[in-house]
Amino acid sequence: MTAYPGYDGQAQLRPRDRAPADFNADRRLLMLAAMALLVGSLGTFAAWGLIKLINLTTNLVWFGRFDVAQASMAHAARGPWMVAAPMLGGLAIGLMARFGSEKIRGHGIPEAIEAILIGGSRMSPKVALLKPISSAISIGTGGPFGAEGPIIMTGGAIGSLFAQFFHLSAAERKVLLVAGAAAGMTAIFGTPVAAVLLAVELLLFEWRPRSFIPVAAAAVTATCWRPALFGSGPLFPFTAHVSLPWWGLIACAGMGIVAGLQSSLLTKALYTLEDAFERLPIHWMWWPALGGLAVGLGGLVEPRALGVGYDVIGDLLHGGLLWRAVMAILLVKAGVWLVALSSGTSGGVLAPLLIMGGALGWLAGLALPGGTGFWALLGMAAMLGGTMRSPLTGAVFALELSGDFSLLAPLLAASTAAYAVTVLLLKRSILTEKIARRGQHITREYGIDPYELARVADVMVTEVDVLRADQTVAEALAVFEGGGRRIYPVVDAARRPVGLVSRADALRWEVDGEGGDERLADRISDAGLACVHPGDILARAVELMIATDAGRLPVTDPQSGVLVGLLTRKTLLLVRAKAVSAEADRQAFFGAGAA
């Protein structure tokens, strides 16, 4: 027998599974939540270490000082070193990827998704060590990336490694992996709600108490540690005090549409460039160095386009930039980011998306009421929501970054509009396209399992042909020879099922050629016979079929035990057919289109 939830060794559903509830949760939820507290702490300290490592690398490479304070690339000197440093950084990453682990290449988030869906939520210690180091080298030498992708990968690896010390299922390991990722994101940006929403919209592929509560616990834990490690308050404090005209929210949605088009263009350009790198007649180990060359050349034009660029985000929100500078940052950032990321180097996408979306919004704000900072914030939310296909995350992330919760409606309008544009124009996001190119398909449309909404009585066969327990084997063989069904329930005098007889059983008895006068009751036994009741949830019945390797289940009355129906694999397909019909069949009930 296959071990399966809901199967108690007696081929029957447990009482708790016959008493359906809104959520399936047990005491292991408390254990996972307690583990998530520790994972959240570890993820927070990993984020702190990564930020310090990035700052140290930046100061050493560009300013020749041993310092972990944040430095701005606006003060980096133009010259040959600005081209050489990113190339050397790319070369180092290529070597680490080839001789260390190829999984350090890329955004970080697609690799985390792949580990969750394909790898049983298991990550290796090598990735946990090499990913932050490679990201610090990439960003510190000028790579136009953010730290959030690497820390999501690193925090996830910490959660996965911690989980692998315990006897946990793949689903439970996933919870701790995502808890570590959410804690890391919360630590860096101070956005616990957005981190949990990102986990739900992008990483968990479910909405269950088992996963939501531990992930939220990890994010809250990171929030508790953050003041001591990063400081308190929003990362980019901003208060707009905007009074929009009656058409203001329409303009916000229009900003979202523009950002959605920008997002789609960047996504298409990224994978076009990635295809171009694939056609190069050199080993992929050298590609990051070529990407570094593009980064360095871009830095000669606009140094502020290099590095994480948190200072640029602050300037976009608070002013102090000329439109020519914003246009230069937008164009150069987009160009170097596309080339560098498509080359397979290591770095995140979140901060660059905020800068590019914010720059576009800032430029739009020159002609719209509310100020450039307000529209820059809208552009950031829309760019994030559309590119990552996470509109709630985009809106709430911008709120928590700025601390201005009066902007919820404009941010939601912009983020949702951008999301609508990208899902209509592109089949996959910038993150899932990479996974699809590795031969894996994922869907991000969450819905209730139709088998959780139906009961056995909804689909069971009520007119059941049976064999009697007092019939002889010879009589049973005659029934099978006469055609009919492949499997018959065997019932006693009170019509209670005592077993199942299949055509394969009949063929074996016929080959044996013995016991023709023996009664079926003596040939079969009801020990281990799996039965369900009409009121059982269909999903539990399916689980029981899997656990017992049964293609059919007798349906009995819960009081008398009398056979009242039969559940078959074919009837189970009716549930799926009904769900498809609900999506595809269209009809009007009022007006001219009504029947």
Report residue 85 as tokens.
């440093």
**Residue carrying the six token digits 């570890």:** 42
12 within a domain of the structure (yes/no): no
Per-residue pLDDT at 526 exceeds 60: no
Per-residue pLDDT at 265 exceeds 80: yes
Between 16-20, 454-458, 508-512, 556-560, the lowest mean confidence (pLDDT) is in: 16-20
Select from 565, 64, 27, 345 the least CA-distant residue to 336. 345
How does DSSP classify residue 335? H
Q: How confident is the model at residue 2 (pLDDT cuts 50, 70, 90)?
A: very low
241 within a domain of the structure (yes/no): no
Per-residue pLDDT at 118 exceeds 80: no
Average pLDDT in the 265-286 region? 92
SS3 (DSSP) at 527 = coil
Helix axes 408-425, 391-402, angle to 10 degrees: 150
Instruction: Please answer whether residues 362 and 329 qualify as being in contact, where contact means their C-beta atoms are separated by less than 8 angstroms.
Output: no
Instruction: Please answer whether residues 219 and 192 qualify as being in contact, where contact means their C-beta atoms are separated by less than 8 angstroms.
Output: yes
Structural domain including 113 reads: 25-229
170 within a domain of the structure (yes/no): yes
HSE (side-chain half, CA atoms, 13 Å) at 458: 17
What is 544-585 written as a DSSP string?
A: HHHHHT-SEEEEE-TTT--EEEEEEHHHHHHHHHHHHHHHH-
Question: What's the rounded Cα separation, in Å, for the pair 320 and 204?
Answer: 40
How does DSSP classify residue 502? E
Q: Residue 562 belongs to a domain with what CATH number?
A: 3.10.580.10
Instruction: Answer yes or no: do 140 and 176 share one domain.
Output: yes
Question: How many domains does the chain contain in total?
Answer: 3
- Express as a percent the part of the chain with pLDDT over 70: 94
Question: What's the rounded Cα separation, in Å, for the pair 70 and 337?
Answer: 21
**Residue carrying the six token digits 């600005």:** 82
Select from 15, 99, 163 the least CA-distant residue to 535. 15
Q: How confident is the model at residue 492 (pLDDT cuts 50, 70, 90)?
A: confident
Residues comprising the chain, all counted: 595
Instruction: Answer yes or no: do 159 and 265 share one domain.
Output: no
pLDDT digits 0-9 by tens, 128-173: 788 888 888 999 999 888 877 788 888 888 998 899 999 998 889 9
Select from 187, 200, 196, 238 the least CA-distant residue to 358. 238
Per-residue pLDDT at 464 exceeds 80: yes
Strand 497-502 with 467-468, pairing: unpaired
Report residue 82 as tokens.
């600005």
Of 95-99, 360-364, 432-436, where does the model show the most confidence? Answer: 360-364
Q: Please write down the long-range contacts of 212-216, taking CB distance under 8 Å and 24 or more positions apart.
A: 213/29, 213/32, 213/33, 214/29, 214/32, 214/33, 214/35, 214/36, 214/175, 214/176, 214/179, 215/36, 215/175, 215/178, 215/179, 215/182, 216/192
238 within a domain of the structure (yes/no): no
Q: What is the pLDDT of residue 3?
A: 43
Instruction: Answer yes or no: do 217 and 252 share one domain.
Output: no
Question: What's the rounded Cα separation, in Å, for the pair 306 and 329?
Answer: 9
Report residue 458 as tokens.
């909804």
**Which of 408, 436, 464 is where one domain is finished?**
436
Per-residue pLDDT at 4 exceeds 70: no
Instruction: Answer yes or no: do 364 and 478 share one domain.
Output: no
Average pLDDT in the 364-391 region? 92
pLDDT digits 0-9 by tens, 211-257: 999 999 999 999 999 999 998 888 888 887 788 888 999 999 999 99
Between 5-19, 36-50, 286-300, 438-452, the lowest mean confidence (pLDDT) is in: 5-19
Which residues are registered as beta bridge partners of 532?
Answer: 555
Instruction: Answer yes or no: do 281 and 424 share one domain.
Output: yes
504 within a domain of the structure (yes/no): yes
Each residue of 147-176: b (16+ CB within 10 Å) or e?
bbbbbbbbbbbbbbbbbbeeebeebbbbbb
Instruction: Answer yes or no: do 411 and 461 share one domain.
Output: no
Q: Residue 311 belongs to a domain with what CATH number?
A: 1.10.3080.10
Strand 467-468 with 487-491, pairing: parallel
318 within a domain of the structure (yes/no): yes
Instruction: Answer yes or no: do 430 and 457 share one domain.
Output: no
Report residue 507 as tokens.
């063929």
Region of residue 428 (left: phi > 0; alpha: psi -120 to 50; beta: else): beta
Question: What's the rounded Cα separation, in Å, for the pair 249 and 370?
Answer: 12
Where is pLDDT greater, at 142 or 517?
Answer: 142
pLDDT digits 0-9 by tens, 318-355: 877 889 999 999 999 999 999 998 998 887 788 899 99
How does DSSP classify residue 528? T
Mean pLDDT of the chain: 86
234 within a domain of the structure (yes/no): no
Helices and strands in the chain, H and E counts: 24, 5
Number of Cβ within a 10 Å radius of residue 551? 14
Between 202-206, 432-436, 453-457, the lowest mean confidence (pLDDT) is in: 432-436
Question: What's the rounded Cα separation, in Å, for the pair 229 and 343?
Answer: 33
Question: What's the rounded Cα separation, in Å, for the pair 137 and 272?
Answer: 26
**Which of 436, 470, 488 is where one domain is finished?**
436
Q: What is the pLDDT of residue 362?
A: 95
Instruction: Answer yes or no: do 287 and 376 share one domain.
Output: yes
Q: Structure pTM?
A: 0.85
Question: What's the rounded Cα separation, in Å, for the pair 447 and 503?
Answer: 39
Q: What is the pLDDT of residue 484?
A: 67
Instruction: Please answer whether residues 227 and 422 qualify as being in contact, where contact means their C-beta atoms are separated by less than 8 angstroms.
Output: no
Instruction: Answer yes or no: do 542 and 464 share one domain.
Output: yes
274 within a domain of the structure (yes/no): yes
Q: What kind and span of H or E run contains 501?
A: strand 497-502
Q: How confident is the model at residue 521 (pLDDT cuts 50, 70, 90)?
A: confident
Question: What's the rounded Cα separation, in Å, for the pair 52 and 341?
Answer: 22
Instruction: Answer yes or no: do 425 and 458 share one domain.
Output: no
Q: What kind and span of H or E run contains 498?
A: strand 497-502
SS3 (DSSP) at 516 = coil
Instruction: Answer yes or no: do 225 and 343 share one domain.
Output: no
Q: What is the pLDDT of residue 298?
A: 93
**Which of 436, 468, 488 is where one domain is finished?**
436
Instruction: Answer yes or no: do 425 and 460 share one domain.
Output: no
Per-residue pLDDT at 64 exceeds 80: yes
Report residue 358 as tokens.
């914010």
Question: What's the rounded Cα separation, in Å, for the pair 42 and 40?
Answer: 5
Question: What's the rounded Cα separation, in Å, for the pair 554 and 498?
Answer: 10
Question: What's the rounded Cα separation, in Å, for the pair 54 and 575?
Answer: 53
Q: What is the pLDDT of residue 592?
A: 59
Q: What is the pLDDT of residue 485?
A: 75
